[in-house]
Copies of this chain bind each other. A is one copy, B any other.
């Protein structure tokens, strides 16, 4: 059997074979970060994470030269799960059902992980690290929406760009209510989904352009 640190098949991450204890520490930091970010959100200090992981700050920073690197590494898995969700939705024979399930699933991911909600729609330019991932699922999403429209369930004027908007709305609800009313997001999502049904369709304001949404996601043009 192959050595675990086989260079070409290294488990994502930093790549080059680390010393055993170093790899252990790296993993410890990542796991701690996952827990802490999920519970307390992205604004936990780096020192705090190192402390909780039982390693020195230097160790953390050697492995993740920048705070953003740590964040990116921490959420890489969830980011993949996020992308996979759209593939599964696409596999549903009923595209409308696939769409609804997808939205609910993604919103739940935001609700369940405070840090992930931030990474996905809000805050920092950490976002850049996941750009490619995002593009891939954007295409799949387009496909799903087209199909749902084709079967006459999703309203025709639903725009691709509406999806990130929903996620942003959900993020707002979720960050405000997580502690006191952890299921509140379901209610708002419920309303929204009903308004996406073709039969409910009434005229709407125009959606933002794709470029606008992209810039919003990347938090560009923020006052410097």
Contacts and interface: CB of A to CB of B under 8 A. Distances in A.
A180 interface: yes
A213 B181 CA distance: 7
A221 to B, nearest CB: 5
A173 B208 CA distance: 12
A194 B202 contact: yes
B223 A184 contact: no
A184 B170 contact: no
Interface residues of A, number: 51
Nearest to A122: B176
Nearest to A206: B187
Contacts of A184: 165, 207-208, 212-213, 216
A160 to B, nearest CB: 12
Interface in A138-196: 162, 165-166, 168-173, 175-177, 179-181, 183-184, 186-188, 190-192, 194-196
Given A177-B212, A208-B181, A213-B181, A169 B188 contact: yes
B190 A205 contact: yes
Contacts of A192: 188, 191-192, 195
Closest 10 CB pairs of A and B: A172-B172, A181-B208, A181-B212, A180-B215, A195-B195, A169-B169, A180-B216, A186-B205, A191-B195, A168-B176
A121 interface: yes
